[in-house]
Structure 1
Amino acid sequence: MTTNAPRVLYILVCGSPMARDVGKLVAMAQSEGWEVCVITTPDGRNFVDVNALHRQTGHVVRTWYKKPGEPDQLPPADAMIVAPATVNTINKWAAGITDTLVLGLLVEGYGFEIPTAVVPYTNNVMARHPALHESLAKLSSWGVHVLYDARRLGQPGQIDRYRARFPWRLALRTVSERMTANSMLEPGAF
């Protein structure tokens, strides 16, 4: 059975001032035919305009797990982008911790073999911690597309100087290419 339903992209947003620009990624994805759902960590919700994203996507911005028995509010994801991804979320994800909805979706996403790209963003001081690099290596070894570039990191408190460098389009291109590659595989292969 062939369907013309749009592919569903989950954009998972963490607590970073870079998250203020997530609407750019939403618009890019929609222009390529994706149905977009935005899910934030509790801290990430503080950096986005929830009402504007709801209007832009047509979906509520989810942050917390639903209550038992409540229906799902979002369609299932075909791909996921975690952007911006904080050190906290990356390290918890690599450890299999699911104490936020974003982390729960990422851990399940691995089990469902959902193509996922992660765009870490922190300042260059926090980025020096070895746990971050160990976690990124672990995620990469699991098939997560890690889009980490230390040149995009800024000094603490100087994020506005680096906002234009954030690779929203690269993240979208990465999951789109992965979706195309997966569609060429034999049924059941990942």
Structure 2
Amino acid sequence: MHAVDFVEVARSSGWDCHVIATPSGAAFADLDALEAASGHPVTTQHRKPGTPRRDRPKADAVVIAPATANTICKLAAGIADTYALDVASECVGLGIPTMVVPFANSALTGRAPFRRATTALIEEGVSFFEVPEHEPRHGGPLAERFPWLPAMTHAAELAERRRSGPEPAAAAPAASAGPRPRSSRIR
């Protein structure tokens, strides 16, 4: 609901933002405000066959926020049943710095599937910006304090580290790629 804050901070820092919303997120987000803040249409679905490709540059960083437990588990399992998850999965596979900013309740984050999902994503090089979990049915008031600015700062740091590091080697087939460097949780 407050993603416009993130986009405005990013734009004022010189970033070109392209917002991809899940269908669930699009149902309550102010898409007009997001489009005005980003200067680009908000994308929610795959393009139709035969339509031109979207004019979107290669990402320097990806921020998945606010990430529900469902989204985190699906991303880790490779389930790309929304356009947003499809793009996020590709970016993780391409090694583009990806940061997940969870917003989930303790009933979901305490379950084994969630713990396995976060571990798997960290092993793939995904960073997590830790947001305290909340009790079920108590997240609404906390949404007002979602850490958009600190998340943007850390995403920019991830992108800068990638830009200033050595050029990535050509991608090897998945079976022989080997483990990726572990990424820590960002607090």
Is 1:154–1:161's contact at 8 Å kept on the other side of the alignment?
A: no
Match of 1:68 in 2: 49
Equivalent of 2:34 in 45, 48, 53: 53
Match of 1:142 in 2: 124
SS state of the match for residue 174, structure 1? Answer: helix
Q: Which runs of 5+ in 2 are unaligned?
A: 171-187
Equivalent of 2:24 in 43, 55, 58: 43
Q: Structure 2 CA distance, aligned partners of 1:108 and 1:69?
A: 21
User: Is 1:156 equivalent to 2:136 in the alignment?
Assistant: yes
Is 1:85–1:118's contact at 8 Å kept on the other side of the alignment?
A: yes
Match of 1:110 in 2: 92
Superposed structure 1 runs of 4+ greater than 4 Å apart: none
User: Is 1:133 equivalent to 2:115 in the alignment?
Assistant: yes
Check 1:154–1:188 CA distance in 2 against 1; reply closer, same or farther (3 A cut). closer
Match of 2:151 in 1: 171
Q: How many residues align?
A: 169
- Please list the CA deviations of residues 30-58 of structure 1 after superposition, one character each: whole Å capped at 9, or x if unmatched: 11100111111111111201111111112
Q: Which runs of 5+ in 1 are unaligned?
A: 1-19
Q: Structure 2 CA distance, aligned partners of 1:74 and 1:159?
A: 36
Is 1:87–1:132's contact at 8 Å kept on the other side of the alignment?
A: yes
CA RMSD of aligned residues (A): 1.7
Normalising to structure 2: TM-score of the pair? 0.83
Decide which structure has greater strand share: 1
- Please list the CA deviations of residues 119-140 of structure 1 after superposition, one character each: whole Å capped at 9, or x if unmatched: 1111222222111111011101
